[in-house]
Amino acid sequence: MIELKNVTKKFGQLEAVHNLSLCLEKGKITMFIGPSGCGKTTTLKMINRLIEPDEGDILVNGESIFTQEPVALRRSIGYVIQDVGLFPHYSVFDNIALVPRLLKWDEKRIQTRVDELLDLVTLNASYGKKYPLQLSGGEQQRVGLARALAADPDILLMDEPFGAIDPINRSKLQDSFLEIQETIQKTIIFVTHDINEAITLGDRIAIMNAGHLVQYDEPNEILQNPKDDFVEHLLGADRNLKALSLEKIRDYLDEDAYLTVAPGTNPEQIKQKLRTANRKLALAVDENGILQGRYNLEPSSTQADGEKLSYDGQPVVMSRNNNLIEALSMMLETGENQLPVVTSKGKLRGVIKLTQIFAKVEAAKAEKNI
């Protein structure tokens, strides 16, 4: 656990950080976000004593960092510097191997670790031999990230670690980052200027403005209850959509909105059944529970009874781990307002309905107003 107590830092006249008190939970990811120049980097650097505060105290695991040996302190804290700061005279390998070497790991172990890290940051192993000047901006940043992770520190300070990385690599990195975090449970402070990233990765988000802490809460809470106009503005006009990205489909399954039929059932029979049950959707499921196709009952002017049954043998499906925003997007793409949800093996688990997505937001609102 990291605790900042009334921390203030001035640069000349400018109060870069003002009376900041903050408790960062062990094993959690805290995202720092705020306008540029609001003091995020300064705060980070105070935690590993690159900058000494003018006032206040900082405790790591209950012990003041100012009573600790700075070098030892910093070795226990991984640090991804904002302007990357790779050592130009070292190869990528040597840059990453730096801290393990300081800690006198044996070379075999280092070799394994570096390979592992290069893979983690989605760089080919051949990059080990390159020099920083030969890398593109995003490649450099990924090496900087690997370097900070190298010795597996308990605390990680990450100053815009994905700032220059393209969306594909970024989402890969975010995924593997979250995956690792789930098992290793590090205490992570992560500065970002990407509000989506803050929402996706953060257990908590600290919003700063002009040296002050404005709001410090769980992402959901911040999205649904922005403290003031500034936060609202920061979250963007589409913050309600963003909130949906935090919700997994698995929690919004509807198992009553459809009928299941065996594959190959007579269409007229299905039509009949749907009418009786007052449903529009029938899903063809085989004996193993695997979804095979989808029947929709649609209005039709050509049909005598004003309705026709369409069949789709390769229906668009969602996975239970997709989030609501993905579901919404897929509904927009297909024009359907409900989509079957299946397991990775293809087993049907239910459907997700557009109305439910809306209901979810409503419910959150209602909850708040109690």
Contact (Cβ atoms closer than 8 angstroms) between residue 179 and residue 146: no
Q: b/e map of 347-363 (b: 16 or more CB within 10 Å)?
A: ebbbbbbeebbeebbee
Q: Which is nearer to another protein, 54 or 179 (CB)?
A: 54
Integer CA distances (angstroms), 32 to 84, 203, 211, in order: 18, 11, 12
CA angle 333, 335, 336 (to 5 degrees): 115
x-marked contacts with its own copies along 82-121 as a string, rule CB under 8 A: xx--------------------------------------
Look-up: residue for tokens 């070795």? 75
Task: Using CB under 8 A, pick the residue from 75, 330, 343, 346 that binds its own copies.
Answer: 330
Contacts with 28 (C-beta within 8 Å, 6 or more apart), sequence order: 187, 188, 203, 204
Q: Which of 156, 236, 224, 141 is nearest to 197 (CA)?
A: 236
171 lines the binding site for ligand ATP (CB under 6 A): no
Task: Using CB under 8 A, pick the residue from 99, 110, 244, 281 that binds another protein.
Answer: 99
326 lines the binding site for its own copies (CB under 8 A): yes
136 lines the binding site for Mg ion (CB under 5 A): yes
DSSP-derived secondary structure letter, 125: G
Contacts with 312 (C-beta within 8 Å, 6 or more apart), sequence order: 293, 294, 296
Task: Using CB under 8 A, pick the residue from 171, 174, 296, 343 that binds its own copies.
Answer: 171
Contact (Cβ atoms closer than 8 angstroms) between residue 21 and residue 4: yes
DSSP-derived secondary structure letter, 85: -
End-to-end Cα distance, the chain: 33
Contact (Cβ atoms closer than 8 angstroms) between residue 120 and residue 149: yes
164 lines the binding site for another protein (CB under 8 A): no
Residues 133, 219: Cα–Cα separation, whole Å? 38
x-marked contacts with its own copies along 13-42 as a string, rule CB under 8 A: --------------------xxxxxx-xx-
30 lines the binding site for ligand ATP (CB under 6 A): no
Which parts of 45-74 interact with another protein (CB under 8 A)? 45, 48, 50-51, 71-74
Q: Which is nearer to its own copies, 194 or 254 (CB)?
A: 194
42 lines the binding site for ligand ATP (CB under 6 A): yes
For residue 168, the Cα-to-chain-centroid distance in whole angstroms is 14
Residues 220, 199: Cα–Cα separation, whole Å? 8
Containing H/E element for 231?
helix 229-235
Contact (Cβ atoms closer than 8 angstroms) between residue 142 and residue 149: no
Q: Which is nearer to ligand ATP, 36 or 301 (CB)?
A: 36
Task: Using CB under 6 A, pick the residue from 136, 183, 266, 369 that binds ligand ATP.
Answer: 136
Q: Which is nearer to another protein, 91 or 176 (CB)?
A: 91
Q: Which is nearer to ligand ATP, 38 or 243 (CB)?
A: 38
Contact (Cβ atoms closer than 8 angstroms) between residue 201 and residue 161: no
Task: Using CB under 8 A, pick the residue from 237, 268, 278, 306 that binds its own copies.
Answer: 237
Which of its own copies, Mg ion, another protein, none does 50 bind, CB closer than 5 to 8 A by kind? Answer: another protein
- Alpha helices per DSSP H over 50-106: 70-75, 92-102
Q: Which is nearer to its own copies, 240 or 292 (CB)?
A: 240
133 lines the binding site for another protein (CB under 8 A): yes
Task: Using CB under 8 A, pick the residue from 128, 163, 315, 350 that binds its own copies.
Answer: 163
41 lines the binding site for Mg ion (CB under 5 A): yes
Residues 272, 98: Cα–Cα separation, whole Å? 71
Which of another protein, ligand ATP, Mg ion, none does 91 bind, CB closer than 5 to 8 A by kind? Answer: another protein
CA dihedral sign, ordered 126, 136, 195, 156: positive
Binding-site ranges for ligand ATP (CB under 6 A)? 11, 14, 16, 36-42, 82, 134-139, 164, 166, 193
Binding-site ranges for another protein (CB under 8 A)? 45, 48, 50-51, 71-77, 79, 81, 83-91, 98-99, 102, 131-134, 147-148
Binding-site ranges for its own copies (CB under 8 A)? 11, 33-38, 40-41, 82-83, 134-139, 141-142, 159-160, 163-171, 193-195, 233-234, 236-241, 243-244, 322, 325-326, 328-333, 335, 337, 357-358, 361-362, 365
